[in-house]
A and B are shown apart, each in its own frame.
Chain A
Amino acid sequence: MSDQNTLPEGKQEFNITVYTENQIGLLNRIAIIFTRRKINIDSLNTSPSEIESIHRFNIVINETEDVVRKLCRQIEKQVEVLKVYYHTNADVIWQEMALYKVPADIIAEKASVERLLRENGARAVVIRKDYIVFETTGHREETDNLISVLQPFGLIEFVRSARIAIIKDSEGFNRKLREFEQMEPGEDVIENEYLNQRDKVFTM
């Protein structure tokens, strides 16, 4: 039926924030929600949150809001997921970090390292005889920019981290968590005779 569906318009980057229990296999459960729908994850970061034992995923995808909302509901359905939020780039403060390894001799010979770093807001992490490793942190354009600057100097290796994002309009998860812990346990979950006979629980 795909031919009948109108082509989705208005795709943009969304930052999905997922608060979860720290459980083996959960990454897989969350990832397959995307792969099943053939949605590419542009960036995925998982880290501890401000609360002990609760993990936080930052996932970036390029999609329409409608699709993102549905995805978030599917993620929130997972047993170990506490809460899912999604935001546009305007609603978050985000950063990515990049490392660049450049041969030391060429850099020393051809460039003013100091100027290079100042102009690109970078810093040197390691300076060795054979190579230098620079680091920048920022948005994609900023980290991309330094690649093109360093390319002529024989950039050996480049790596960029996943995006991490802080939600501008959020009070964190501490209060929300208390709500989760206090939620009344469900009633009537078990219909069976043994439950009225406490001593019978041991059947041996």
Chain B
Amino acid sequence: MEVAQQDVLTAPEQQAAVELTGSAALLEALIVEGTETIFGYPGGAIMPIYDALYDYKEKLDHILVRHEQGGIHAGQGYARTSGKVGVVFATSGPGATNLVTGLADAQIDSTPLVCITGQVFAHLLGTDAFQETDVINITTPVTKWNYQITDANEIPEVIAKAFYIARSGRPGPVLIDITKNAQIQKFQFKGYTPCNHIRSYRPKPIIRPSFIERAAQVINEAKKPFILWGQGVLLGKAEQEFKAFVEKSGIPAAWTILGAGAIPTDHPQNVGMLGMHGNYGPNVLTNECDVLIAIGMRFDDRVTGRLDKYAKQAKVIHLDIDPAEIDKNVKTHVAVWGDCKETLPLLTQFVEAKQHTEWLAKFNEFTRQEEEQVINAELHPQTGEMTMGEVIDQLNGLTNGDAVIVTDVGQHQMVGCRYAKFNKTRSNVTSGGLGTMGFALPAAIGAKYGAKDRPVVAVIGDGGFQMTLQEMGTIMQTGIDVKILILNNQFLGMVRQWQELFNERRYSFVDIQSPDFVQVAKGYGIAGRSIKERADLKGALEEMLNSKGSFLLEVMVTKENNVFPMVPQGCSVSEIRLK
């Protein structure tokens, strides 16, 4: 362990040591790190920590979830809306393995988490003791860092390191496994020193000014430059810097789903969403621009489609904090390594103030075509059953783009991300990289804790809701205010769409039955309503939003509706289909 001594917060030698158990030391550490809310589930191997928690009720709010997967998704939702580190507790064995999906999700979406798992006594490690699982090895591929503590003396330093690693550089999940003996063990606690330096760890690369100047030169010479931005802008808390760059350069900008909201949806230079179900213009014009400026995004295959036909005509400028992202998928012409909070202002300084009016108009022309052929029918159908799009459109009208929208995975996610309006940053919470069904309900609970004064609406499919609906129990017990909007198409819709388009409508096991969701919610003490008629939509949404506390609204939507546009698997982005 290496901690830079010059920044010692409470110089240990000045502080009288106190005898503490490992568990109490852990909780002290969490408090210093600014933790307010912990999502967790107890068990034998983490009992000493829970026992200590009893004395910390005033300082640390613990939310008892109904499943550890719910706990970690809640931690993710919390981190995503608050910009802080989510903290999750679980016991050994099954408790810890239930975290794996959430860890993988947080890892791929760069979400800062510190997960604490209990472990059997150190002397039992490796003996197949009751509820012993090799948590460190299981979680290695899905954590930014993990570590097993077997001695209480390690706790302050390791926890400090855990928080530093989770939140710095490209954020990510960290798991600390603590054996039971270390939780119980008493030791001399000499105060807590937050970590801000690890010898072998470079959270951000050194900025190289010559590359920024080179990037600016390429941008200034461009006729049709195009900005693609991702979550890096939000993670770097660089929304202002980003906006300044966009506005001075006059360049059209499109977003990946995790980048949504960094600038408002209605910003005149915001030309829409990238990727498989993104907007028509940004996809087609990716293959027409002459300079592509990628900011804090990682060229995921859902964004690029077929790589060998992706933006081959363009010079690519890539701004990223993670050097491993440069050239990983798309060859870069100029790489700007660094934290975009620092690199963007430097770049803005060198780019010429311009307005790419004609080029921007081209995007708008594509938008017009998309509206005509897809959007109008999706958002404003006059007859027939309701569409997912019109539900989101009505929701926009009522929330003014101020709500946090948490989506699950499937068609409703794509519709939600395409059509939800965001005026504020950190408003779009979704499982982007892993595409985890069951994410939305628990993530929405966490999101509400992370953004207590904002309305939080979870938009969920009938399939995904049934994966973690037991978290309504968490809502019941905590009284947290989460609006649940189920878009029920009575199918595993997204899979059905693929079967329709690519498997000759062979609807293999996508016909899913659901319980009476309103009744189930009622069982959990959550008010609810189910509607089928368009005439009821606005009123029902108002009822949901205005209700005190949680509310479940089920909207029955068209069974076989498809999300378009779509870049079919194996096609290039310019082959995006409008129908």
Interface residues of A (CB under 8 A from B): 1, 4-6, 20-21, 24-25, 28-29, 32, 36, 69-70, 73-74, 76-77, 79-82, 180-181, 183-187, 189-195, 198, 201-204
* B258 interface residue (CB < 8 Å to A): no
Please tell me if the beta carbons of B199 and A194 are within 8 angstroms of each other in the complex.
no
Please tell me if the beta carbons of A82 and B199 are within 8 angstroms of each other in the complex.
yes
Q: Which A residues are CB-close (under 8 A) to B308? A: 4-6
How far, in Å, is B383 (CB) from chain A's closest CB? Answer: 40
Q: Could you jot down 20 A-B contacts, CB within 8 Å?
A: A6-B308, A28-B137, A29-B140, A70-B327, A73-B324, A73-B328, A79-B144, A79-B165, A180-B199, A186-B168, A186-B203, A189-B195, A190-B34, A190-B194, A192-B33, A194-B31, A198-B9, A201-B9, A201-B10, A202-B10
A32 to B, closest residue via Cβ = B141
Measured between alpha carbons, how far is A187 from B342 in the docked complex, in Å?
13
Measured between alpha carbons, how far is A180 from B199 in the docked complex, in Å?
6
How far, in Å, is A203 (CB) from chain B's closest CB? Answer: 5
Q: Which B residues are CB-close (under 8 A) to A180? A: 199-200
Q: Which of A4, A80, A183 contacts B307 (CB 8 A)?
A: A4
Given A4-B306, A5-B308, A70-B328, A36 contacting B141 (CB threshold 8 A):
yes
Given A32-B141, A189-B167, A198-B10, A82 contacting B200 (CB threshold 8 A):
yes
Measured between alpha carbons, how far is A11 from B9 in the docked complex, in Å?
51
Please tell me if the beta carbons of B194 and A189 are within 8 angstroms of each other in the complex.
yes
Please tell me if the beta carbons of B32 and A201 are within 8 angstroms of each other in the complex.
yes
Given A80-B200, A185-B7, A201-B10, A1 contacting B301 (CB threshold 8 A):
yes
How far, in Å, is A23 (CB) from chain B's closest CB? Answer: 9
B contacts with A: majority SS: loop
The interface bits of chain B over 4-36 (1 if a CB of A lies within 8 angstroms of the residue's CB, else 0) are 101101100001001000000000100111100
Known contacts A79-B198, A190-B33, A204-B28, then 20 further A-B pairs from the complex at CB < 8 Å, ordered by chain A residue = A5-B308, A24-B148, A32-B140, A32-B141, A69-B327, A70-B324, A76-B323, A77-B322, A80-B200, A183-B202, A184-B197, A189-B195, A193-B34, A195-B9, A201-B9, A202-B15, A203-B31, A203-B32, A203-B59, A204-B18
* 7 pairs of A and B residues whose beta carbons are closest in the complex: A192-B34, A185-B197, A73-B324, A185-B196, A82-B200, A185-B4, A201-B10
Q: Which B residues are CB-close (under 8 A) to A70? A: 324, 327-328
A32, A74, A193, A198 — which one has the most chain B CB atoms within 10 A of its CB?
A198
B36 to A, closest residue via Cβ = A192
* B145 interface residue (CB < 8 Å to A): yes
How far, in Å, is B171 (CB) from chain A's closest CB? Answer: 11
Measured between alpha carbons, how far is A172 from B136 in the docked complex, in Å?
33
A180 to B, closest residue via Cβ = B199
Q: Which A residues are CB-close (under 8 A) to B10? A: 198, 201-202
Q: Which of A74, A185, A201 contacts B191 (CB 8 A)?
A: A201
Please tell me if the beta carbons of B34 and A191 are within 8 angstroms of each other in the complex.
yes
Measured between alpha carbons, how far is A77 from B308 in the docked complex, in Å?
27
* B84 interface residue (CB < 8 Å to A): yes
B115-169 CB contacts (< 8 Å) to partner A: 136-137, 140-141, 144-148, 163-165, 167-168
B15 to A, closest residue via Cβ = A202
Measured between alpha carbons, how far is A77 from B570 in the docked complex, in Å?
30
Measured between alpha carbons, how far is A185 from B6 in the docked complex, in Å?
9
Q: Which A residues are CB-close (under 8 A) to B323? A: 73, 76-77
Measured between alpha carbons, how far is A176 from B461 in the docked complex, in Å?
53
Interface residues of B (CB under 8 A from A): 2, 4, 6-7, 9-10, 15, 18, 28, 31-34, 59, 84, 136-137, 140-141, 144-148, 163-165, 167-168, 191-192, 194-204, 301, 306-308, 322-324, 326-328, 570
How far, in Å, is B5 (CB) from chain A's closest CB? Answer: 10
B146 to A, closest residue via Cβ = A25
How far, in Å, is A91 (CB) from chain B's closest CB? Answer: 22
Please tell me if the beta carbons of A81 and B200 are within 8 angstroms of each other in the complex.
yes
Please tell me if the beta carbons of B6 and A21 are within 8 angstroms of each other in the complex.
no
Q: Which of A74, A181, A190, A204 contacts B196 (CB 8 A)?
A: A190
How far, in Å, is A167 (CB) from chain B's closest CB? Answer: 19
How far, in Å, is A183 (CB) from chain B's closest CB? Answer: 7
Q: Which B residues are CB-close (under 8 A) to A198? A: 9-10
Please tell me if the beta carbons of A201 and B192 are within 8 angstroms of each other in the complex.
yes
Q: Which B residues are CB-close (under 8 A) to A20? A: 200
A194 to B, closest residue via Cβ = B32
Please tell me if the beta carbons of B570 and A189 are within 8 angstroms of each other in the complex.
no
Given A77-B322, A189-B196, A191-B34, A28 contacting B140 (CB threshold 8 A):
yes
How far, in Å, is A120 (CB) from chain B's closest CB? Answer: 42
Q: Which A residues are CB-close (under 8 A) to B191? A: 201-202
Please tell me if the beta carbons of A1 and B203 are within 8 angstroms of each other in the complex.
no
Measured between alpha carbons, how far is A77 from B144 in the docked complex, in Å?
9
B33, B145, B200, B203 — which one has the most chain A CB atoms within 10 A of its CB?
B200
Given A1-B306, A28-B140, A185-B6, A76 contacting B324 (CB threshold 8 A):
yes
Please tell me if the beta carbons of A21 and B570 are within 8 angstroms of each other in the complex.
no
Please tell me if the beta carbons of A186 and B137 are within 8 angstroms of each other in the complex.
no
Q: Which B residues are CB-close (under 8 A) to A184? A: 197
Given A21-B199, A180-B200, A185-B196, A74 contacting B7 (CB threshold 8 A):
no
Please tell me if the beta carbons of B34 and A4 are within 8 angstroms of each other in the complex.
no
